[in-house]
Structure 1
């Protein structure tokens, strides 16, 4: 009887164990917020450090060593260049250029800070997010856009990498 219980438990656990480690989940989160007080679009991007490092290293032929003691001295310049290529933001239909403010490492993620200063109150914000698709075609990029009380979240994929939020103003 005891032998049958062990076999039963094995048959229950075996299918569950077979799926662990089979497929890694690739995801980033980007928050886009319009701050009326400072008249700036503020962007916070969170990407898993190992995925971002692999992509930056392959694209630019470097060993970035992101957020390690061996970090490449120009790692921030490479990140800024990469974000400028892969994260496009349009405010009121106009392509914008952001300032790369820097990054920090939190919970296995690189958290990057970007800002578009001197932005009048937007009627729309459009995001094209192509982060990591060249390395991970199955990458999913979650985008949260907020201005005032209006907030919407989007799930972007390689074949659907744009989103837009239009704001109703009084």
Structure 2
């Protein structure tokens, strides 16, 4: 029994150590529909070091926000009811290990379907996993993106 506990303990320790060395690459986007202004508002959270590596600029420099804006515009496409929508960057905020990016699109009267192409950090990190949660008129939908599955669509 003692030998079994030792082997089990070593096995559990090895598993825990393997998790501590594995990097986890993800972004999370929350999309909220604001009915009064007919606007979809996006909030994306990314790891500060990961986005810094992707755009090759220090997050503490003055040009960081402009590069993040350009990066998001080049790596996030939105289609409402089959029509492409323009995203307007409204700001970003570095908060320690996280960067929050804010953008929106207006003139959204009714949503039958939302199609998104999300390639944020996918070219820099092969194991990157992006999640988009959409709240629209009491309905909640979730999309997942990774290499090989950069485009997703949901219907309301």
Name 1:159's counterpart in structure 2: 148
Q: Does 1:16 align with 2:15?
A: yes
Q: Does 1:76 align with 2:65?
A: yes
By how many angstroms is 1:18 displaced?
A: 3.7
* Cα separation, 2, equivalents of 1:152 and 1:139: 20
By how many angstroms is 1:20 displaced?
A: 3.3
Name 2:124's counterpart in structure 1: 135
Residue 65 of structure 1, aligned match among 42, 58, 66: 58
SS in 2 for 1:133: coil
By how many angstroms is 1:72 displaced?
A: 2.5
SS in 2 for 1:50: helix
**TM-score for the superposition, normalised by structure 2:** 0.88
More strand by share: 2
| Residue pair 1:36, 1:121 contacting (<8 A) in 2 also | no
Runs of 4 or more off by more than 3 Å in structure 1? Answer: 4-10
**TM-score for the superposition, normalised by structure 1:** 0.81
Name 2:54's counterpart in structure 1: 55
Distance 1:88 1:15, change over 3 A: same
Q: For 1:93-132, what aligned pairs fall within 5 Å after superposition?
A: 93-106=82-95, 108-132=97-121
Larger radius of gyration: 1
* Cα separation, 2, equivalents of 1:5 and 1:29: 42
Q: How many residues align?
A: 155
CA RMSD of aligned residues (A): 2.2
Structure 2 segments unaligned to the other structure (5+ residues): none
Q: Does 1:34 align with 2:33?
A: yes
